[in-house]
Amino acid sequence: MRTTMLYRKMNDKDLSILGFGCMRLPVTADGNIDEPLATKMLRYAIDHGVNYIDTAWPYHAGESEPFVGRALAGGYRGKVHIATKLPSWLITSRKDMDKYLNEQLTRLKTDHIDFYLVHGLNAGFWENLSGLGITDFLNDAIADGRIRHAGFSFHDNVPVFKKIVDAYDWTFTQIQYNFMDEHYQAGTEGLHYAAKKGLGVVVMEPIRGGLLGRDIAGVREIWQTAKTKRTPAEWALRWVWNHPEVTVVLSGMSAMEQVKENVALAESGHAGSLTKAELSLYGKVKKELEQRVMIPCTNCGYCMPCPNGVNIPICFEEFNKGNIYDAKEQAAGHYQMLCGGFFDNQPHFASLCKECGECEEKCPQGLPIQSHLKKVAGYFGK
């Protein structure tokens, strides 16, 4: 089928600038993947040039990978590059690495993973995996053909990011990046560092889980001053695509309308294509949204660890998201996942605060953290 999809190089591969993320597939009333609709969406994207499909072990309670395996039957597997991820938090031995990879190959009904990531790396996960032989595992899996290219997704600060980049001969990395997160986690500094090292960069959360695609009063009026009219989602995607260091932008699409819109948008997502006037609008939008921040936490982490297990920065981040974007329900979902033990099976909710005061003694901004945590607990409930 003829397509005008744009592609960028990663290693020797031409990858579509739009990747199909399989974490937010449409679901039925009972919470299961709506397989007929999701299959139709995925195949529409592939038929229109998308060739990078991203999934992971835990997505949709473990059902995303099996779904992808079934949806790529009938010749679709040969048209795409599959990316999936080793569940870092579940690895306790070198044997575990092979166990999960082999199971993923079975789930995905394939004999190889094109782009295999070590999932959600931070300082703690990397220290554990390094000691268990992660680099030897990756070398062996590439040598025996089970994976073609090795990478990692990331959730920590820039120094940790650079350390991991330098620790292995990675093909690519995956980072969170959007016009509101220029300095969040790896951020722009990490993007440039990875690109200079020759790594491809896959971007997740380009629309901040859909938040930047919302029609928000105050922001709407800023976008409307542009000569070229675009939806909020298009503005967000175009900002990421404007960076030549970015290879693929992932979108977790949950409706056919989103697939069709994003495929159409990807046809004009050239690097460096935004004008100076257009780029200035992002600064105005960012300023408007930042004025709505309720808790001015910089996510420096000096308040951590909390002796009662509260993940203070995450609590504040999700509380702020709910208020900034008028998206309480969505923020509550993230709060439940991130503070409910998704990675370590331990609770980290704001309601666990015992008012010991240790965090406030360490906060360089002097924030009344205990008072703020009460607001968070009241906002999201126990």
The CA distance from 208 to 338, in Å, is 15
Q: Look-up: residue for tokens 């919302």?
A: 214
Bridging pattern class, strands 172-176 and 13-16 = unpaired
Dump pLDDT digits (tens) for 17-66.
999 999 999 999 999 999 999 999 999 999 999 999 999 999 999 999 99
Q: What are φ and ψ of residue 138, in 5° steps?
A: -65, -45
What was the pLDDT predicted at 382?
67
Alpha-carbon gap, residue 338 to 317, rounded angstroms:
11
Question: Are 203 and 250 within 8 A, CB to CB?
Answer: yes
Helices 35-47 & 256-266 angle (0-180, nearest 10): 10
The domains found in the chain, sorted by start residue, are 7-283 (3.20.20.100), 312-380 (no CATH)
Q: What confidence score (pLDDT) does residue 143 get?
A: 98
Alpha helices (H) along 48-149 = 64-71, 94-107, 123-132, 134-143
pLDDT reported for residue 3: 61
* DSSP assignment of 176-243: E--TT-TTSTTHHHHHHHHHHTT-EEEEE-TTTTTGGGS--TTHHHHHTTSSS---HHHHHHHHHHT-
Total residue length of the chain: 382
DSSP 31: S
pTM to 2 decimal places = 0.89
Say whether pLDDT at 12 is over 70.
yes
338-348: per-residue pLDDT in tens?
899 877 788 99
